[in-house]
């Protein structure tokens, strides 16, 4: 085995994983194609209840889908996306008009105090080196009365999938770094610690959850999803071949009776400045 999985917020891993949108796009496509049940975007819209006039900053905006969707929907207030990755910012700028995209870290946002009415941090706080430092910065750029929304994975996010990875790792030790992903994300920012951190930063925090699922028709998209993670990308070709064989053996059992349903629990934490 040539590699170990560092924490979800290891800066070198985060930089490699998000240098371009390639790997993230695989996971976005997986979610779009195979999600069943209540939609995440509908829950975000319900929680934010935007009237369209707000100045909104989306931190960790990646390829820009969220502010891009708001712009396309006629949001007339200022829309800004910020991301640490130059590749992501480039992709977002090329994809979406009506949004300003800037390259910046969550803990050093290039905006004056009290600039935004709303700040969103979607599936990104588990990557930052210091959650309290990022939350402090978010609070700084929000106007008094401004609102904050964090979106993250619950500790039990896709448990059936990660149980299958655990099982495959008992057949092939090369997969051990992949088994550490769920624990790494949960430890970095989940319902277990996120609400307390937001409460500390804002003096208030309101959690909500969304339960839905992925329904996979066949093992291939499951493998593609797993193979988009840094822990897989760090394996050499021999390790990948052996890891894939073990995963295929375990997944064959899961698909014996037809499509395989993997449950998802997403956590939302809102706060007001
Ligand atoms: C899982 S992606 C989420 C992208 C988008 N928010 C979404 O929900 O599809 C995480 C994003 O956070 C960015 N990121 C990671 N660490 C960051 C940091 N410290 N400051 C700003 N962005 C960061 C990554 O470059 C990546 O684009």
What separation in Å is there between the alpha carbon of 34 and the centre of ligand 1? Answer: 22
> Counting beta carbons within 10 angstroms of the beta carbon of residue 13, is it exposed (0 to 12), middle (13 to 18) or buried (19 or more)?
buried
Residues paired with 82 in a beta bridge = 59, 102
Contact predicate 133/109, CB 8 Å:
no
Could you tell me the domains of the chain? 11-272 (3.40.50.150)
What separation in Å is there between the alpha carbon of 150 and the centre of ligand 1? Answer: 12
**Pocket lined around ligand 1, Cβ cut-off 6 Å:** 14, 18, 24, 59-62, 65, 83-85, 88, 105-106, 122-124, 127-128
Query: pLDDT of the chain along its 273 residues, tens only?
Result: 333 434 688 888 888 889 999 999 999 999 999 999 999 999 999 999 999 999 999 999 999 999 999 999 999 999 999 999 999 999 999 999 999 999 999 999 999 999 999 999 999 999 999 999 999 999 999 999 999 999 999 988 999 999 999 999 999 999 999 999 888 888 899 999 999 999 999 999 999 999 999 999 999 999 999 999 988 998 999 999 999 999 999 999 999 999 999 999 999 999 999
């Amino acid at each position: 085995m040539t590699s170990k999985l560092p924490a979800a917020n290891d800066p070198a891993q985060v930089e490699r994983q998000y240098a371009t949108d390639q790997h993230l796009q695989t996971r976005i496509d997986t979610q779009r194609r195979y999600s069943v049940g209540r939609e995440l975007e509908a829950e975000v819209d319900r929680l934010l209840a935007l009237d369209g006039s707000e100045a909104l900053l989306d931190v960790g905006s990646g390829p820009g889908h969220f502010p891009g969707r708001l712009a396309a929907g006629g949001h007339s207030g200022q829309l800004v996306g910020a991301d640490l990755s130059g590749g992501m910012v480039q992709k977002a700028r090329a994809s979406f008009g009506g949004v300003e995209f800037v390259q910046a870290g969550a803990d050093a946002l290039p905006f004056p105090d009290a600039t935004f009415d709303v700040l969103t941090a979607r599936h990104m706080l588990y990557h930052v080196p210091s959650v309290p430092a990022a939350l402090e910065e978010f609070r700084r750029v929000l106007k008094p009365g401004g609102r904050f929304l964090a979106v993250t994975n619950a500790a039990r996010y896709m448990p059936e999938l990660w149980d299958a990875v655990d099982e495959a790792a008992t057949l092939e030790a090369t997969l051990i770094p992949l088994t550490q992903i769920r624990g790494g994300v949960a430890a970095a920012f989940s319902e277990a610690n996120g609400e307390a951190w937001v409460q500390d930063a804002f003096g208030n925090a309101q959690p909500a959850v969304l339960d839905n699922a992925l329904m996979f028709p066949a093992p291939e998209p499951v493998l593609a999803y797993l193979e988009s993670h840094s822990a897989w990308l760090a394996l050499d070709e021999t390790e990948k071949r052996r890891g894939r064989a073990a995963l295929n053996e375990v997944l064959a059992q899961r698909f014996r009776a037809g499509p395989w349903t993997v449950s998802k629990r997403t956590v939302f934490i809102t706060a007001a400045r």
